[in-house]
Structure 1
Amino acid sequence: MEKDKPKSKWSALKKELIQWTLIFVIGAGLYATGYHTEVIGKLQSVILYTGIFQPDTEESIIHGSKADYNMTMIDSTGKRISLSEFQGKTIFINFWATWCPPCIAEMPNIQSLYDEIDNENIVFVMASLDQESQKAWDFVQRKEFSFPVYSVASKPRIYDTSVVPSTYVISPAGDIVMKHQGMAKYNTDEFKDFILRISSQ
């Protein structure tokens, strides 16, 4: 009996080494193909689904801050447009990137919000910070998201943040009425009521 103990101990160690090797190989494979971001994002979206992370539409208001419409963007056709084209409307701006798991995590619920908000006075601007614009457009097409996606060519200082994703809501009067840093669940009754209320002011 005593002779079997070292053998069973080695067998358990061997099994554990195989498990860790498999985890490493899978992780390395995902990293090499670039899919690790999406996998992490998918896991984070499960957490997001619980509703733990929600934008605080009362506490996140930037009092007295005016929007800067001098932001140049490029759409998927290569056309350069300015944020000023949407002046006078409620603007939901989300700064994101394909390399950012929390960005990917919140995208399905932003898509749901976009689908449910049928209001011509509310504009969605999904502003990609990817250095290669095509990456963003390829990603969105592959995921079959239909919200408008733009590549940011120049960004005013007021939208500078070290946190990605970051989301802003601009009122028709040009006030920044919400800023949220980090991922959040936007497709909630509370947020829909908030953005519809802003658009009717």
Structure 2
Amino acid sequence: MNKKTKKSLIEYSVIGAIILTLFATGLHTEVIGFMQRGLLVTGIMNPDLEQKAESATAEVATINSNPKADFSMNLINSKGEKVSMEKFRGKVIFMNIWATWCPPCIAEMPGINKLYNDVNKEDVVFIMLSVDQNFQKAIDFNKNKGYDFEVYSVDGQMPQMYSSQSIPTTYVIDANEKIALTHLGMGDYDTKDFKEFLLDLK
């Protein structure tokens, strides 16, 4: 075996060991999410607010021209309290479906947390809806990251209209109880345009 081949084998072994370690410790999600955060900075993944009332595109979808939202969903928060979505009827709702094992979800979380801290909680309700099988993982993740929003899990069945093959998926419901926007995939919500969009839905 020549020196060049030996060096290549050592390099591949080190890379392989790093990758295995990341997967074994669960840190691969964080690392991939961090890299995907760079994509968010470009703005190419942002929700298309101009097409919110038009038909679906690859990244942004609006279902059936602003249908009425389904408020029959029951939730459980991080304290174990049961919360009916009915409680939020008449408010603007930012609902994000996510999981701790989903790198794009992790990538968009810092921006969502900034958005949460920048808007009036009387005007906009945040439902950060975890689909982790073990909800405690979502609770621990949120606490470890120091995010300020509450996390929820579905208590029972999720209404069909919120079922998505893509996570993260974000729904925005206006004060008239209609779906104003559905965004499939990650997005940067910490923008001036998006904040104005939310406030216009009151």
TM-score using structure 2 length: 0.91
Q: Distance in 2 between matches of 1:34 and 1:15?
A: 29
The match for 2:89 is 87
The match for 2:50 is 58
> Match for 2:119 among 110, 117, 120?
117
Q: Does 1:172 align with 2:164?
A: no
The match for 1:67 is 69
Kept in 2: contact 1:60–1:180 (CA 8 A): no
TM-superposition CA deviations, 1:36-89 (whole Å, max 9, x none):
111111110122122221001232433141100111110111111111110010
Q: How does 1:98-177 map to 2 (within 5 A)?
A: 98-153=100-155, 154-177=157-180
Runs of 5+ in structure 2 lacking a partner? 54-61
Runs of 5+ in structure 1 lacking a partner? 1-6
Secondary structure of 2:200's partner?
A: helix
Secondary structure of 1:58's partner?
A: helix
The match for 2:28 is 36
Count of residue correspondences: 191
Aligned-pair CA distance for 1:119: 4.4
Kept in 1: contact 2:127–2:151 (CA 8 A): yes
Q: Distance in 1 between matches of 2:194 and 2:50?
A: 11
The match for 1:3 is none
Secondary structure of 1:198's partner?
A: coil
Q: Distance in 2 between matches of 1:172 and 1:184?
A: 22
The match for 1:22 is 14
Aligned-pair CA distance for 1:137: 0.3
Q: Which residue identity lines up with residue 162 of structure 1 in the other structure?
A: Q
The match for 1:4 is none
Query: Residues 128 and 32 of structure 1: is their aligned pair in 2 closer, same or farther, counting only changes over 3 Å?
Result: same
Kept in 1: contact 2:95–2:170 (CA 8 A): yes
Aligned-pair CA distance for 1:134: 0.2
Kept in 2: contact 1:127–1:152 (CA 8 A): yes
* Superposed CA RMSD: 1.2
Secondary structure of 1:179's partner?
A: strand
TM-superposition CA deviations, 1:96-125 (whole Å, max 9, x none):
000100000000000111111124121111
Aligned-pair CA distance for 1:12: 1.4
Secondary structure of 2:96's partner?
A: strand
State which structure, 1 or 2, has the greater radius of gyration over its C-alpha atoms: 1
Aligned-pair CA distance for 1:194: 0.4
Aligned-pair CA distance for 1:148: 1.5
Kept in 1: contact 2:66–2:180 (CA 8 A): no
Q: Does 1:47 align with 2:39?
A: yes
